[in-house]
Chains A and B, each alone.
Chain A
């Protein structure tokens, strides 16, 4: 989505930043290969609370002063969808979630999001934060020249502790994880003619399943 803006207006700068362990570099390198201008890593080898991540990213955003911050809509592991909205809250910026499209508008940007049966279009002045759903376009492939260029770019790194962000605060703790109860086998009614089966079915739906 960000790179589409850059395609449309070459003066756009797309910077990527992540808070995470050293292996996060691979994801940043991939983003550079796809065409992002620069990347930086805030190193946190130990997992942080979502709020601490948002506060760390807020420090970076206040330094770099982007017009628009795009986050993913949710983490692929815990599906919390927390960091984006929390970052907007820490920054005191407006935020719109589940974006599918960005359109430049007078003094800001139109933010399109998918809703039941259509699109909802919001308009915001800068700075603003959005969380990205699936773009209307397929993500681009890193090109071979992009990969070679990305190799040559430095990815600066600094420890999360050096940002001066409050990394404390409430943390979620997983108390228990359970698999859903096994489903009982279904019942096949086959004794008697069609009418008898229908009667049995109605009885079972009323007395056993209690849906009638």
Chain B
């Protein structure tokens, strides 16, 4: 029970939880193979998850951010590799199109993010720009009515499955008048909708990661890619704020994912602690074990309240940047502690692949890094607290 979620939102999450229960047997094989089975996308489309954040006028469900956070938690509790793909597709990519896309762009692209034919991708990071996103080097230059795009986007989630890449590239200007203020570091950064089936696009080899093994993470290289004028999302030079707005919402999704992973690891640890006997009694009888789980479970519940507060603020149209960062920071760090504790409860068995607590720990690890490291979240929070 929590104060931010209504009955309908909980029902939507419960429906996804019921669906997720049957994922079990498919997970190990897909993690081993390093890819998500495509039929899962169809199932998620049928279930209505992929379009849940898209308004009804654009063919979606128009569900709240709170509902989406609860759904991502359920997906992540079952399978984090799947949850992160959905989070990027339906959160940051679909969300940016809904908010900044023209009628034509929404009509052309949103159905493809909803219908299960693929999962959308977001390209901000480059080899030399991670946390310092404003220093990105990818470029876009005008070519007649359209654009020519060049750049190397790294660590792109869903690249292999994506019909489109939402790419942040810099449009170089001819420079301001003499004596004008130097341009802002993010000047010229512009968002483009790049179809991934056009000439000049190369998808790199899938990255070999610590966790989230079934989630695709690859580089996308744009080499003289010609796109039409309709590839421009929003206005020239507004890309950085589009990206930051997308990440604000995305961070709620990452928090939800961390919460789901932590929750399932702790549930496994609790069940094991009741069953496993040492020194003549279930190890749950030892306070060293039960208190460890109690502490991490408390943190996980607190993280959920933070995440839902941020989601609720977004739903009611109030600023939520700081709260989203707080939720992402706290949930992702709490997930490290929770999954660590879960493995500790399992002892040697926790280190083995047969038990999915080791997967939880590996999957949780990414959450303190992507969509802004913990350090960047502290920076965002501190700046908002100390802004003049």
Contact = CB atoms under 8 A, between A and B. Distances in A.
Interface of A: 33, 141-148, 151
Given A144-B47, A151-B8, 16 more contacts: A33-B15, A141-B15, A141-B19, A141-B47, A143-B15, A143-B48, A145-B48, A145-B61, A146-B48, A147-B8, A147-B11, A147-B15, A148-B8, A148-B12, A148-B61, A148-B63
Contacts of B19: 141
B80 interface: no
A30 to B, nearest CB: 10
A144 B46 CA distance: 9
A113 B63 CA distance: 42
Interface in B1-46: 8, 11-12, 15-16, 18-19, 46
B324 interface: no
Interface residues of B, number: 15
Contacts of A141: 15, 18-19, 47
A196 B49 CA distance: 69
27 contacts: A33-B15, A141-B18, A141-B19, A141-B47, A142-B15, A143-B15, A143-B46, A143-B47, A143-B48, A144-B12, A144-B15, A144-B16, A144-B47, A144-B48, A144-B49, A144-B63, A144-B71, A145-B61, A146-B48, A147-B8, A147-B11, A147-B12, A147-B15, A148-B8, A148-B12, A148-B61, A148-B63
Contacts of B46: 143
Q: Chain A: interface secondary structure?
A: helix
Interface of B: 8, 11-12, 15-16, 18-19, 46-49, 52, 61, 63, 71
Nearest to B49: A144
A142 B71 CA distance: 14
A144 B52 contact: yes
The 10 closest A-B pairs by CB, nearest first: A144-B48, A145-B48, A143-B48, A141-B19, A144-B12, A142-B15, A143-B47, A147-B11, A145-B61, A144-B52
A143 B47 CA distance: 4
Contacts of A142: 15
A151 B12 CA distance: 11
Nearest to A148: B61
Contacts of B15: 33, 141-144, 147
A23 to B, nearest CB: 15
A145 B16 CA distance: 12
Contacts of B48: 143-146
Contacts of B47: 141, 143-144
